[in-house]
Amino acid sequence: MAGLEEEVRAVIGGDGDAFRRIVIATNVRLVRLAARIMGNMEDGEDVVQEAYVKAHRALVEGRFDGRSRVETWLYRIVTNTAIDALRSGARRERSKDVATGATWDGAAAADARIALAELDAVLQGLPADQRVALVLKSVEGRSAAEIAEIMDTTEGAVEQRLVRARAALKKWSPDHE
């Protein structure tokens, strides 16, 4: 996501097309993240759309201070928006037909939609903050330091959420005795 800092400066400077370029550069990754957190593509797309509105507003109003990388800042906005959606229960009714609906990368993604549904079924019982930490660590491959920055918390708090999430998943596992 190189060049995002330049695009942010352009948005702040009044370039109307710069934010569109940010969206084009980040959309696939952010939708993938949101879909993994939310458990389906439709909710993931809704979360990212809302996050982009928040990000644009923050840039235009001068609320982005540049202390973190643009990518991390966008991940934080998407993550917080997803947590809010999970907590409010604002989720769509899931379609039983996994081969239809929205896709990413312009390709039919039936396997990915099935994997999302399976991931959602496993993670559904976790509190939103534990779910997000686990997705960022285990699925997105982020370090504890990156997760702490994205979630605006400490590394210790991230590790604690991961331990609790893994313990809960182990307890729910069919292999657990």
Annotated domain spans of the chain: 4-91+107-172
* Integer Cα distance of 22 and 25 in angstroms: 5
Of the two residues 16 and 146, the one the predictor is more confident about is 146
With a CB cutoff of 8 Å and minimum separation 6, the contacts of 77 are 51, 54, 55, 58
pLDDT at residue number 32: 93
Assigned token pair, 95: 């379609």
Asked if CATH classification 3.30.360.10 holds for the domain at 4-91+107-172, the reply, yes or no, is: no
70-88 vs 41-60: helix crossing angle, rounded to 10:
130
Q: What is the pTM of this model?
A: 0.77
Residue 79 has pLDDT above 90, yes or no: yes
pLDDT at residue number 10: 93
Q: Helices in the chain by DSSP H: which ranges?
A: 4-12, 18-38, 41-60, 70-88, 110-123, 128-134, 144-151, 155-172
Whose tokens are 């990754």? That residue is 29
Residue 94 has pLDDT above 50, yes or no: no
* Integer Cα distance of 149 and 57 in angstroms: 21
| pLDDT average, residue stretch 115-129 | 78
Residue 140 has pLDDT above 50, yes or no: yes
* Integer Cα distance of 150 and 137 in angstroms: 11
